[in-house]
Amino acid sequence: MTPQEDDALKTVSLISYILHLIVAVSAVVPGAQMGPVLLLVALIVDMVKRQDAQGTWHETHFRYRIRSVLWAAGLYLITAPLWFLFLFPGWFAWLGISVWFLYRIVWGMVCLNRQQPIEL
């Protein structure tokens, strides 16, 4: 892998992590409608660029982000009815999911900055 390709993958990863950060924070902010759209955009970017990272230390970051998004999206969907039935339990559930998601994103960004693979 050339240094330019490595830098390109690192840039894609950084952009994806930033989109994930926005989603995690907006999940608990009332009226933040862009969260699901950004989550979908980040997932598509990661799935498309994952092939470019195959065989490099970046590969673990793409797999990590894809798994994080799928788990977070599933948990948000499962707990969404709590918002309609009971406001506060729904908010606490989403807060918990967002904190977990935020932790994974920050840890991923730390490893990316160190140019280390994510240990799964």
What DSSP assignment string belongs to the chain?
--HHHHHHHHHHHHHHHHHHHHHHHHTTSTT-TTHHHHHHHHHHHHHHHGGGGTTSTHHHHHHHHHHHHHHHHHHHHHHHHHHHH-HHHHHHHHHHHHHHHHHHHHHHHHHHHTT-----
**Domain ranges, residue 63:** 3-113
| 8 domain residue, yes or no | yes
| 119 domain residue, yes or no | no
Please tell me the predicted confidence (pLDDT) of residue 27.
Answer: 67
| 61 domain residue, yes or no | yes
- pTM for this one? 0.86
Q: How many domains does the chain have?
A: 1
Taking the chain (120 residues) in runs of 10, the rounded mean pLDDT of each run is 90 94 75 75 93 94 94 88 80 86 93 90
Please tell me the predicted confidence (pLDDT) of residue 36.
Answer: 76
Please tell me the predicted confidence (pLDDT) of residue 38.
Answer: 84
